[in-house]
Amino acid sequence: MSNNVLNTKELPFCKGCGHHLIAQNTAKAIEELGLNILDVIFVTDIGCHGIIDKSLNTHTVHGLHGRSVALGAGISMGLPPEKKVIVFIGDGGATIGLQHILEAARLNVNLTVVVHNNFLYGMTGGQLSGLTPKGFNTIITPNGSPYGEHDICELVYTAGANYVSRVLGIGDYSETIKNALKTPGFSLIEVMEICPSYGVKFNPKRKLQEIVEAANKPIKTWTNHRDPFVFPERKIVSNLFDKTPVIEHLNKEKILTSQIQVVLSGSAGEGVQLAANILCKAAVKHGYNITQKGTYPVTVGVGFSNAEVNISPDEILFHGLSNPEYVIVTSQDGLDFSKNTIKQMNEHQWILIDKSLPLPETKAQILSYDFRGKGAKNAVISSLFFFAKLSGIIETDTLKAILSEMGMLEKLPLTAIENELVLVTV
């Protein structure tokens, strides 16, 4: 497996945007330090920089606006120090979450934060942030911001960060990022850049260096030499498997010997993520390892809802999913969302689809059942029984046991499900 941090040369930013260089310099630093990309966790914030996620081969977590440093700190606190947590955040996010940054610096959490300071909120059209230099033009301060800005470097240095550096976002500054990554404890690099789409537009004749100098922001490095954060006493979290008695498979032939991928695609508000969680619990009860990842629009309760589940007899090192053995589709929203995945499936793979939906174009084997006939809210959970019967990977009795524990079994039209289940022959 390649150890390249970036999976593409075509990064998703506007032409000339300094975010290209930040991603490339960070990737170079990680690669030259010889870090294993599976030991690196990027936490990104809201803003243009955050669309880098899909271009990374490392682990990625996408946070709420301004909260990525809090998330990154939490992740770091739960990991051994050889894992590297890197937070990408914009000047807008750094303003919103300034307290999180200062607290992580004060505690000296093992974390490297790269602030993409282009002096405005680029994704929303160029509004000023708390890091916009006084006098810099933005869409809402066309004659220059009248306000003084925070000096994020001085603030985190004073709060106790071990390594702080401000760089101009030009050329190769990967050595600075390497230094930050090598320093135990909290490190922050403020990369000064101009957003070509809005910063240049509102400040046409001004050069980056001149803006930084006028703002009295020296290009320099600050260091402290404090011990990095450690829990006073590490809490030992018991293994979930220790608490979960394994239920033996009745059908020994169907016991998994390698990882499989299952996708549940339906509509928001119809229990897709809950059903995926029930599937995972059933798989754990059978002694398997699982991962679950949900995808849905930012506006909760509207449009599609998609859940990706990996089930494996072995430890799962990567939660990503690319070639599912089973796709379960319970609504048109789900079908629209998964149609490209379905198109690429082969004759050894399976689609379980609600009978009200058109049959998709695919080489996979398609089985059509009346999931929605059990009620829209029950459709996805009902589909799990069909998946269980078809695949044999989990037992229908295990599903019933979990639904019973959750107080949900009696709400399901179990007789209707079981009457239709007899049609599933494998």
Element (H, E) at 325: none
Residue 22 contacts residue 49 (beta carbons within 8 Å): yes
197 binds ligand SF4 per the rule CB under 6 A: yes
**How remote is the C-alpha of 385 from its chain's centroid?**
29
194 binds ligand SF4 per the rule CB under 6 A: no
One of 50, 63, 92, 122 touching ligand SF4 (CB under 6 A): 122
Residue 149 contacts residue 133 (beta carbons within 8 Å): yes
50 binds ligand SF4 per the rule CB under 6 A: no
Residue type, 360: P
Alpha-carbon gap, residue 368 to 365, rounded angstroms: 10
Count of residues engaged in binding ligand SF4, rule: CB under 6 A: 12
Residue 366 contacts residue 396 (beta carbons within 8 Å): no
For ligand SF4, which stretch binds (CB under 6 A), given 34-42, 99-107, 118-126, 300-308?
118-126
**SS3 assignment, position 97:** coil
Terminal C-alpha separation, the chain: 36
Residues sharing a CB contact under 8 Å with residue 139, sequence separation 6 or more, in sequence order: 120, 125, 126, 127, 198, 202
One of 5, 6, 13, 22 touching ligand SF4 (CB under 6 A): 13
The CB-of-118 to ligand SF4 minimum distance in angstroms stands at 5
The CB-of-216 to ligand SF4 minimum distance in angstroms stands at 24
For ligand SF4, which stretch binds (CB under 6 A), given 11-19, 106-114, 275-283, 307-315?
11-19
C-alpha distances (whole Å) from 408 to each of 57, 273, 328, 382 are: 39, 15, 21, 12
Residue 384 contacts residue 275 (beta carbons within 8 Å): yes
The CB-of-126 to ligand SF4 minimum distance in angstroms stands at 8
294 binds ligand SF4 per the rule CB under 6 A: no
Alpha-carbon gap, residue 309 to 311, rounded angstroms: 6
* Residue showing tokens 């320093």: 183
Element (H, E) at 333: helix 332-343
Residues counted in the chain: 426
One of 160, 196, 228, 269 touching ligand SF4 (CB under 6 A): 196
One of 108, 118, 224, 378 touching ligand SF4 (CB under 6 A): 118
174 binds ligand SF4 per the rule CB under 6 A: no
137 binds ligand SF4 per the rule CB under 6 A: no
Smaller CB distance to ligand SF4: residue 195 or 352? 195
136 binds ligand SF4 per the rule CB under 6 A: no
CA-based torsion, 41, 268, 273, 255: positive or negative = negative
317 binds ligand SF4 per the rule CB under 6 A: no
Residue 272 contacts residue 243 (beta carbons within 8 Å): no
Residue type, 40: V
One of 5, 19, 186, 312 touching ligand SF4 (CB under 6 A): 19
Smaller CB distance to ligand SF4: residue 17 or 260? 17
For ligand SF4, which stretch binds (CB under 6 A), given 63-71, 164-172, 195-203, 399-407?
195-203
121 binds ligand SF4 per the rule CB under 6 A: no
The CB-of-406 to ligand SF4 minimum distance in angstroms stands at 44
17 binds ligand SF4 per the rule CB under 6 A: yes
44 binds ligand SF4 per the rule CB under 6 A: no
Query: Which residues sit at the interface with ligand SF4, rule CB under 6 A?
Result: 13-14, 17, 19, 48, 118, 122-123, 195-198
